[in-house]
Amino acid sequence: QVQLVESGGGLVQAGGSLRLSCAASGRTASIYVMGWFRQAPGKEREFVGTISWRNGRTWYADSVKGRFTISRDNAENSVFLQMNSLKPEDTAVYYCAADSTPYNFFPASWNQYEYWGQGTQVTVSS
């Protein structure tokens, strides 16, 4: 099993920045990929981006490309989501996810991730 704990959410004005963290514990050696998703009230969970735990390659949703950056620290078993130029429509609960499947593509669907954190609220005011 893998446990994930997010932190770093909060309230920020439009145009501002936030950095989310996700700390993994448990069977971290089994992690192959980690991703970030978000869910706004009344909406479905939405893919934000993903990172290969092995080689650090990333892929992002078009809605955040150029504004958000995912990075990892394998030694600390952590992944980060740097969010810049935030917009009110970025307001959501942000979830960290992980999976041990050796995908040969970037998984962008919530059901391709087995492990989930509890989520952290990000609110962007206009």
**pLDDT at 39 (0 to 100):** 98
Once rounded to an integer, what is the mean pLDDT over residues 55-82? Answer: 96
Distance, CA of 4 to CA of 49 (rounded, Å) = 16
Q: How far is CA 31 from CA 17, 48, 64, 93, 125, in A?
A: 28, 19, 24, 23, 35
When pLDDT is cut at 50, 70 and 90, the band that residue 52 belongs to is: very high
Residue found by looking up tokens 């992980």 in the block: 98
- pLDDT tens digits for range 98-119: 999 999 999 999 999 999 999 9
Give the percent of the chain with pLDDT over 90: 97
Give the percent of the chain with pLDDT over 70: 100
- pLDDT tens digits for range 19-49: 999 999 999 999 999 999 999 999 999 999 9
**pLDDT at 5 (0 to 100):** 97
Distance, CA of 95 to CA of 111 (rounded, Å) = 13
Element (H, E) at 96: strand 92-99
When pLDDT is cut at 50, 70 and 90, the band that residue 123 belongs to is: very high
Distance, CA of 90 to CA of 69 (rounded, Å) = 14
**pLDDT at 23 (0 to 100):** 97
**pLDDT at 93 (0 to 100):** 98
